[in-house]
Amino acid sequence: MGICEGRVAIVTGAGGGLGRAYAKRLAAEGASVVVNDINAETAATCVAEIEADGGKAIVNTDNITDYEAAGNIVKAALAEFGDLHAVVNNAGNNRDRMFTSLTPDDWDAVMAVHLKGHFCISSHAAKRWRVMSKEGKPVSGRIINTSSGAGLQGSVAQSNYAAAKGGILSLTLVQSAELARYGVTANAVAPQGRTGMTAGVFDEMMKPPEDGGFDVFDPANVAPLVAWLVSEQSDGVTGKCFEMYGGKISVADGWRTGEVVDKGARWEPAELGETISELIEKAPPPQPVYGS
């Protein structure tokens, strides 16, 4: 019996890459999975693979960026499996440009899929869990969001993507704080693995080893973490961002208040330079922006 036996999970962008790996591992651990993807063919292939291995899954192609349509994804889970325990917000896109070349369409397209997509489906799930909690029913809800190294430290030529992924981290913190009272946890993962978004850019770096050794960029390496977060075993773990690829896992340490200098009165602009220099010197240096 797997650690997700009896759980029902929605995975967005589950037709390929990381989402497909998550859906398959969740099913292998006993979860019933809604495989959501805008590509019906790849979603159906994922479901067929899950069913061939004895798991339970259904295809869903509703648009996560449309609030009403996202609600239909939750309804599909309830109609087919009778419950919902977890939402894995994995779907993503990218429109990489240097900042001075970025267009409004580039910005809006990335924000829609990442930030709005994370909001829409999680909103419907959270509202259901809140009603259940207020009715005195047991709730063991899970929201698993997807950030990235770009969201944690920035990435050259990805200001829209980095901003969206950074926003997802802040969203996760607020969801964690607000939804705990209803029995819901919210965490984020910042994974590395071969996906459609890395194709053509990182093919050489991420290619499987020719000697048949451990494939560190296999998306399946991240799936055990997602399965654990979906399971009841992760109860009490919330508001965290886990970085993972290959066999490596860590908990990210984000922005926090540093050392404070208090003058006890209003500062004059000319006074600030020396004090700010001292504070910067004492602060731990940030990780460099990717590509800088």
How many helices (H) and strands (E) are present in the chain, helices listed first?
10, 8
CA–CA distance, 19 with 288 (Å, rounded to integer): 28
- pTM for the whole thing? 0.94
Pairing of strands 241-245, 8-12: unpaired
CA–CA distance, 53 with 51 (Å, rounded to integer): 5
pLDDT of residue 210: 75
pLDDT at 161 over 70: yes
Q: Which of 23, 79, 75, 12 is nearest to 46 (CA)?
A: 23
Q: Which of 163, 175, 148, 24 is nearest to 102 (CA)?
A: 163
CA–CA distance, 25 with 14 (Å, rounded to integer): 12
Mean predicted confidence (pLDDT) in 104-126: 98
Strands, DSSP E only, in the chain?
8-12, 32-36, 56-60, 86-88, 141-146, 184-191, 241-245, 248-251
The alpha carbon torsion through 192, 194, 195, 201 (nearest 10 deg) reads 100
Q: Which of 22, 161, 231, 234 is the catalytic position?
A: 161
CA–CA distance, 203 with 211 (Å, rounded to integer): 17
Rounded CA Rg of the chain: 21
Residue 148 known to be catalytic: yes
pLDDT at 207 over 80: no
List the domains of the chain with CATH numbers: 8-251 (3.40.50.720)
Contact 161, 214 (CB under 8 A): no
pLDDT in tens, 232-280: 999 999 999 999 999 999 999 988 899 999 999 999 999 999 999 999 9
Amino acid letter at 135?
A: E
Q: Which of 32, 122, 147, 148 is the catalytic position?
A: 148
Q: Which of 32, 147, 165, 231 is the catalytic position?
A: 165
pLDDT at 111 over 60: yes
pLDDT of residue 199: 55
pLDDT in tens, 230-243: 999 999 999 999 99
Sole residue written with tokens 């259904």: 58
Residue 32 known to be catalytic: no
Contact 113, 254 (CB under 8 A): no
For residue 272, how far is the Cα from the chain centroid?
39
Q: Check residues 31 and 213 and name the one with the higher pLDDT.
A: 31
Report the mean per-residue pLDDT for the chain: 95
pLDDT in tens, 33-46: 999 999 999 999 99
CA–CA distance, 4 with 94 (Å, rounded to integer): 31
pLDDT at 198 over 70: no
Residue 245 known to be catalytic: no
